[in-house]
A and B are shown apart, each in its own frame.
Chain A
Amino acid sequence: MDIQITLRVDGAAHPLTVDTRTTLLDALRERLRNTSPKKGCDHGQCGACTVLLDGRRVNSCLVLAVTVGNAEVTTSDGLAEGDQPHALHRSFVARDAFQCGYCTPGQVCSAAGVIEEARAGWPSAVTADLAADEVDLTDDEIRERMSGNLCRCAAYANIVPAVADVARASRVRS
């Protein structure tokens, strides 16, 4: 069954007619030709499809496009400002935090979400004091919070410092 929607993606509105079965991931990739989010497992297990929905990281493969409504979708592509890469993009390059790069846009969106969640004081499963107001994004915290993003090249050893560099820099700024 077809339905008309308008997707707001990376700052632009896109009117679309989609089958109700279309996921946000497929709408982005197949209809809008935004190939920044990747299809890995298509079951919410690998995180390659991670995008920000109104600023919160989600698996776009498990979100039906018809449910998105007016929410703003931000892909890794949209994190850049014009020709200027996002701090996480630069950090992933500087730290050599990938090999094939397939999971990288999902890792970057997830990391952007992790930094915001930590800034809001959200605890994780490895946070010792659940009642603490502030979260220090230690390497253990980053590993736990990024566990929804798999990297089959196993670049984890460089992904953790890539995220940590930006998390600590943004903390100094704020």
Chain B
Amino acid sequence: MRELIRELVETYGPSGVEEQIRAVIRAEVEPFADELRVDPLGSLVVRKQGSPSASSGQTGEGKRLVLAAHMDEIGIMVTYVDEKGFARFTRIGGVSPLTCVSARVAFADGTVGVIGIEEKREDTSKAPKFEQLYLDVGATSRDDCPVHVGDAAVFVRPFAVQGARLIAKAMDDRIGCAVLIETLRRLERTPHDVYFVFSVQEETTLSGARTSAYGIEPDMAIAVDVTVTGDKPECRPMAVELGKGPAVKVQDSGMIAHPRVRDLLVQRAKEADIPYQLEVLERGTTDAAAMQLVRAGVPSGCLSIPCRYVHSPSEMVDEGDVENGVRLLLEVLRAA
């Protein structure tokens, strides 16, 4: 899976500009799909048809399930180019100015920029504001600046493996995409019609999963995304640790997981002896929150891959948690 993860995390795909990452994912999933489409907002929807029942030979005994991971990533967008060719920018999704200082970013065409910080600040001990940051793409004037207002860039960092940990930008949520792709690849038989949704615009407005779920009208939905951990020095308390298994979401700031979905994940993990943890996330939410409210309501939950340094250019996950995430999803799909 490492090569797949490397390819996914190193591909460009900020919210709203998901064409490149969609093409990469499409190539990975196409051989395994019974049906594949790109819906109006750009989410990639891959359907894997349920197998007929082994005993009765009938199809349609299973349910219509959605597994969703978002393919967009956080980034920045150019808001202005000044006379000397420096660009100002705003954030796409939850980006902290702290992680921006001195970071490198790349645009869709490969243009690289460096983020600088104004030296004349009233209080240099305080975190800067976005208005005090600028982007240097090596231009000398507005006219020769290769980037324009509205262009989007993502943070650049190579994928790295350090022991059992995987480190990269955009683990949020390419690791979820990797889990979905791997699940699809290994999935042999399922009674369910399973829709693998690679959604757009999660980091900004949770738009893609919401609209895709409307189109699919599922009986149940599970988002696969990252969650933060409470296992770092002097961090906010949270009962999720790296390496202790994928986390079954109980609640986050956007939703309460449907108890039956939560219990199903827990039960299948226990049955198959897959390590898992329960998650209560105080800040942040996922596509599941949006899918839950579609049409007359969709029982929704979330399987989270624990991740340190979420929304930084160096997000860290545990390889075992990723593998166990795939195993748990396969257990969920195995039987009705």
A and B bound?
Answer: no
